[in-house]
Structure 1
Amino acid sequence: MTQPCLALEGVSYVLPDGRTLFSDISEQFDQRATGLVGRNGAGKTVLARMLAGQVQPTGGRCTRSGSVYYLAQQVSPAPGATVARLAGMQATLDALERIEAGSSAPEDFDAVGERWDVRLRLRDELARNGLGHLDAATPASALSGGEAMRVTLIGALLSDADFLILDEPSNHLDRPNRQALVDQLQRWPRGLLVVSHDRQLLDTMTRIVELSSLGLRSYGGNYAFYAQCKERERQTAIQQLEQRKLERRREEQSLREQRERLERRQARGNRHGQDANQARILLGRQKERSESSAGKLRQQHAETRLELAERVREAAQRVEHDLAIVVHELPVALASQKRVAELEAVALPLVQGATRQIDLTLTGQQRVGVIGPNGSGKSTLLKVLARQLPPVAGTCKLPVPGIYLDQRLANLDPRRTVLEQMLAANPTAGEGDLRMRLAHLGLDSGKIAVPGGSLSGGERLKAALACVLYADPPPQLLLLDEPSNHLDLPSVQALEAMLRGYRGALVVVSHDDAFMDNLGLTDRLVATEQGWLTAPW
């Protein structure tokens, strides 16, 4: 029996605005657990959706032998959606209920197939993943971002598909659930492709495939092996490029010296001919021979220069063209010790248990990292501080408006261009200055001129960050909910540098330990079974 396989044969994809995202890509994906990596905007999500059959290539062919289950990186439940729909099981459960009520429709039996225990399996998996308080009918709107992601992952793992294609599956997951995801995927018995920037998750893969400006390249090992290979390749490519440039400089010097020697010989010949008083016909023939030699030499030199330029160009093509990501420092004056937020006996909406109530005071120079398990109220707390949700009880004093960036990037309109939204957020800045700042974030002129919804997940996050961070007036209280999700490593490092230099009050929620440690935080706010606890960072 032939093993299920996904194959790309000379595949290309051209964006609606005419830009080529990638071209002439060929690769096979078998039963090995494979991690797909690459910079933001390289086309990883498009490639993953193409393998899942959701996007058609502009050129070439994509073939699938076996069923594929694709999990998108952004979990956005439709209005009225339930846990069952989020897990992709609503149609099966509805058909099962109709059969139990007496239906004999063939389409209902086709929808159920062999999954007669689907209700029990969903209940057991919810309980196994610490979501026993949920059931199939629970509204998806009641879930936190991490809980929603865990439900969709349960649906993927219960799908019995031949291939799972997961796009950034560890985003929004807390530490225990990230480890649980790793354990689950290591037990998965069939084909697996994971798009991710999560190094811990990628280290469990059998191989890494990278999409870059050089195309698609497979590495036979985990992320640590891939990183070592990439560094060796980068150093070798740079050394070869420098060697070709040195060879060109030396050859150019040799060509100049040849030309100068010929010019000196011509000058001596002209002087000798004039002094020797030779016949004009002889002088003319000497001049013709000299000019012919000079012409041949110029032609040879031109051909040599073209060859040298081609060798340099070929060496340069082996060096990836990824520009550094730069985040400009925010023009926020050093804040005073005045209070920017004060919560007294506040009861948070949509939160149950000990973390429902909180007392919290924030001053203008505090930098607070909020940590805790999924569903403990971290995002809800930020929404209360941003005045997006009213508290159920207690006193909430917010003298400074909080600028909030949520997990679903609600502040970025998917229908408007990034440049339009930047100009609306900062009408006092010149368009050229805003274009420069966006370019430094890795958003070039082509990407800022298309609707925000057409960008990759990492690009949308950068655009949303730009609209928040470069607003006028600048934010004095910055509220960030998992801001490093979707970002590649260079972008995360640039964001860390910017936030270290930010001088306003900062409250950030993240499950990324390394990211939080690099922000220069002053305080830790922890959601525990005993309630909210504070401590120095």
Structure 2
Amino acid sequence: MTHTHLTLDDVSYLLPDGRVLFSHLNMRFHAQRIGLVGRNGVGKTVLARLLAGELRPSAGRCLRGGTTHYLAQRAGAPRGDTAAGLAGLQAPLDALARIEAGSVDARDFELLGDRWDLRQSLEREWRRFGLGHLRPETPADALSGGEAARAALCGAILSDADFLILDEPSNHLDRNQRQALIEQLSLWPRGLLVISHDRRLLAGMERIVELSPQGLASYGGAYDFYAEHKAQEQARALQTLEQRKQERLRGQRALREQQERQERRQARGERRGREANQASILLDRQQQRSEDSAGKLRRQQAAAREGLDQAVREAARRAEDDAAVVVHALPQGRALPRTAIVLDEVELPFAPPATRRVGLSLGGGRRIGVLGPNGCGKSTLLKVLAGQLRPVAGRVRSPAACAYLAQDLDGLDPSRGAIEQLLALNPAARESRLRMLLAQLGLDAERAARPCGLLSGGERLKAALAYALYADPPPQWLLLDEPSNHLDLPSLQALEAMLRGYRGGLLVVSHDEGFLDALGLDGWLTADEGGWRLLDGAEWEKRVINQAWF
């Protein structure tokens, strides 16, 4: 029997433009539940594709003991494909159909294996993830992006692979679907590698592996264990940086004192030579020896200073790699009106009948979480408030100074860089300040200039956040649609801190319970079969205790 494993043997990967993404990675992944974390743009998706055999390393080897099933962030299928094809199960389902029609071809039995209930199992999983309307033959191009992702996820769960590799599998899932995913993965009996920033999902892992510019590091526990050890590592890195700075100060002081002693000795020697009335040839030789000695000392001191500086740079680099991402607090705009958002008998386009009509009145400064299953109209509601969609009927009033962050990031031009777009939005701002804001979000000068279409998913989200948050004038209301999707953990924590301190109005759609809990919300707008309901904190707590939502 093959021992299930994925092994990196001195693996390096160069991007098409020649830049090194990572180098000399060595690690063995055993058949356990493993979470892969790391900053946006560090190469997690590329590493997953290398492990799955979809890419070849520039150097080194990727070894696989057993079969793998890789599920990308964006599920896709060729034109004309089906929902079963998205799930990666078209071939065994076709084999099952042929066997049921009388085939005795050995290849059909090999494709199917012992999965005689595959059709029923697939439809059961689809129902679990809110896709009960699908059939294997449903055309793939009839599915939304979220439906396609969920259909493919169900196929991964039903695969016979020895190792599942899932890239951000909880994106596009609502609360119930996320819980179903966590339960299903807890039962997965073979190898599992999950790229995620979802803290509830990572809490069920047996091991966390972090990819950073320093390479791979393994933490032998779930997310809480990892977070505790990362905090300790950051504290040690900052302590080491301070020690190296103090050592440099002491070393520089000692080098100055050494230089001053040398100059005093040289001056005394020259004075004695003149007073002793020595021959000029002897004085010249003595001066040459003195200059040679001084030159040698200068070279030694320059090397010593470079060594001290290098020690500080190395310590600073390690501290910066772990440093928190910064999202700056937003300046408050004009005074918030008593009533800021009004939806008067509004009929939403595209929403299902139960949640098509909505009436709402929100005062300035309210902090509202918007919750409901996928497809109930949450994103449509935000688009109507932002002026991106016109209601079918009714009257809408919303603040002029509101920032809207769409789930699909369609506010960004993929052909232009983040700094170019941010400058166009803030023509009076200093470019150096805007570059600083992007850098502290985790987009350095090179990434800020790169066309947004070439950035990773998390990097595009950071660019979109900057575009939404740092507008001029500053927004009085933030309308955020799934802002935690694709963000790495440090960026997510920085966004939580900024939103906690934001004093304007907030309307945020999210299925990430940990993220919502961190925002200090004062109300909840829920959508279900009974329509829209606005609940205050006490009503919400009572409803959660009774599990009477969604």
Does the residue aligned with 1:164 lie in a helix, a strand or coil? strand
Partner of 1:464: 464
Matches within 5 A, 1:70-81: 70-75=70-75
Matches within 5 A, 1:448-487: 448-471=448-471, 478-487=478-487
Partner of 1:217: 217
Does the residue aligned with 2:41 lie in a helix, a strand or coil? coil
2: CA distance between counterparts of 1:507 and 1:80?
Answer: 39
Partner of 2:336: 335
Report the CA distance shift for 1:349/1:439 in structure 2 as closer, same or farther (over 3 A): same
1: CA distance between counterparts of 2:292 and 2:22?
Answer: 48
* 1:65 and 2:49 are equivalent in the alignment: no
| Structure 1: segments with no counterpart, 5+ residues | none
Letter in 1 for 2:215: G
**Contact 2:2–2:66, Cα closer than 8 Å, also in 1:** no
Partner of 1:6: 6
Structure 1 residue 182, shift from structure 2 partner:
2.2
**Contact 2:385–2:396, Cα closer than 8 Å, also in 1:** no
More off after superposition, 405-414 vs 193-202: 405-414
Does the residue aligned with 2:448 lie in a helix, a strand or coil? coil
Matches within 5 A, 1:83-482: 83-97=83-97, 100=100, 112-129=112-129, 131-137=131-137, 149-280=149-280, 283-284=283-284, 286-316=286-316, 318-321=318-321, 324-328=324-328, 329=330, 332-344=333-345, 346=347, 349-351=350-352, 354-386=354-386, 394-398=393-397, 404-419=404-419, 421-422=421-422, 434-471=434-471, 478-482=478-482
1: CA distance between counterparts of 2:117 and 2:204?
Answer: 31
Does the residue aligned with 2:445 lie in a helix, a strand or coil? coil
**Contact 1:340–1:362, Cα closer than 8 Å, also in 2:** yes
**Contact 2:199–2:514, Cα closer than 8 Å, also in 1:** no
Partner of 1:512: 512
Does the residue aligned with 1:447 lie in a helix, a strand or coil? helix
Does the residue aligned with 1:480 lie in a helix, a strand or coil? strand
| Structure 2: segments with no counterpart, 5+ residues | 538-550
Report the CA distance shift for 1:487/1:104 in structure 2 as closer, same or farther (over 3 A): same
Structure 1 residue 419, shift from structure 2 partner:
4.4
2: CA distance between counterparts of 1:6 and 1:45?
Answer: 15
* Deviation string, structure 1 residues 97-145 (Cα, Å, up to 9, x no partner): 4565577888766654554432111122234556545443556678777
* Deviation string, structure 1 residues 247-294 (Cα, Å, up to 9, x no partner): 333233223223322322332333333334345555455445544544
2: CA distance between counterparts of 1:271 and 1:111?
Answer: 97
**Contact 1:212–1:320, Cα closer than 8 Å, also in 2:** no
2: CA distance between counterparts of 1:428 and 1:290?
Answer: 59
Task: Give the root-mean-square deviation of aligned CA atoms.
Answer: 3.6
Letter in 2 for 1:253: R
Matches within 5 A, 1:486-501: 486-500=486-500
Letter in 2 for 1:530: G
2: CA distance between counterparts of 1:244 and 1:428?
Answer: 40
Q: TM-score, normalised by structure 1?
A: 0.85
2: CA distance between counterparts of 1:390 and 1:82?
Answer: 33
Letter in 2 for 1:230: K
Letter in 2 for 1:442: G
Structure 1 residue 155, shift from structure 2 partner:
1.2
2: CA distance between counterparts of 1:99 and 1:360?
Answer: 57
Structure 1 residue 416, shift from structure 2 partner:
4.6
Structure 1 residue 475, shift from structure 2 partner:
5.5
Structure 1 residue 43, shift from structure 2 partner:
1.2
Report the CA distance shift for 1:283/1:450 in structure 2 as closer, same or farther (over 3 A): closer
Report the CA distance shift for 1:308/1:108 in structure 2 as closer, same or farther (over 3 A): same
Structure 1 residue 321, shift from structure 2 partner:
3.0
Structure 1 residue 201, shift from structure 2 partner:
2.1
1: CA distance between counterparts of 2:513 and 2:60?
Answer: 42
**Contact 2:128–2:180, Cα closer than 8 Å, also in 1:** no
2: CA distance between counterparts of 1:11 and 1:122?
Answer: 36
2: CA distance between counterparts of 1:304 and 1:504?
Answer: 53
**Contact 1:330–1:470, Cα closer than 8 Å, also in 2:** no
2: CA distance between counterparts of 1:14 and 1:246?
Answer: 38
Report the CA distance shift for 1:74/1:470 in structure 2 as closer, same or farther (over 3 A): farther
2: CA distance between counterparts of 1:10 and 1:242?
Answer: 33
Does the residue aligned with 2:449 lie in a helix, a strand or coil? coil
Letter in 2 for 1:258: Q
1: CA distance between counterparts of 2:518 and 2:204?
Answer: 25
**Contact 2:198–2:512, Cα closer than 8 Å, also in 1:** no
Report the CA distance shift for 1:309/1:429 in structure 2 as closer, same or farther (over 3 A): closer
2: CA distance between counterparts of 1:104 and 1:506?
Answer: 62
Does the residue aligned with 2:352 lie in a helix, a strand or coil? coil
Structure 1 residue 163, shift from structure 2 partner:
0.8
2: CA distance between counterparts of 1:32 and 1:509?
Answer: 33
2: CA distance between counterparts of 1:288 and 1:500?
Answer: 69
Report the CA distance shift for 1:347/1:103 in structure 2 as closer, same or farther (over 3 A): farther
More off after superposition, 491-500 vs 161-170: 491-500
**Contact 1:346–1:396, Cα closer than 8 Å, also in 2:** no
* Deviation string, structure 1 residues 40-61 (Cα, Å, up to 9, x no partner): 1111111112211222323322
More off after superposition, 181-190 vs 422-431: 422-431
**Contact 2:484–2:492, Cα closer than 8 Å, also in 1:** yes
Report the CA distance shift for 1:12/1:139 in structure 2 as closer, same or farther (over 3 A): same
Report % sequence identity: 60
**Contact 2:443–2:459, Cα closer than 8 Å, also in 1:** yes
Partner of 1:36: 36
Report the CA distance shift for 1:421/1:98 in structure 2 as closer, same or farther (over 3 A): farther
* Deviation string, structure 1 residues 405-434 (Cα, Å, up to 9, x no partner): 333333334455444544565566676554
2: CA distance between counterparts of 1:474 and 1:301?
Answer: 52
Aligned residues: 535
Letter in 1 for 2:394: T
Report the CA distance shift for 1:86/1:473 in structure 2 as closer, same or farther (over 3 A): farther
**Contact 1:333–1:503, Cα closer than 8 Å, also in 2:** no
Does the residue aligned with 2:439 lie in a helix, a strand or coil? helix
2: CA distance between counterparts of 1:409 and 1:73?
Answer: 15
1: CA distance between counterparts of 2:403 and 2:318?
Answer: 43
Does the residue aligned with 2:447 lie in a helix, a strand or coil? coil
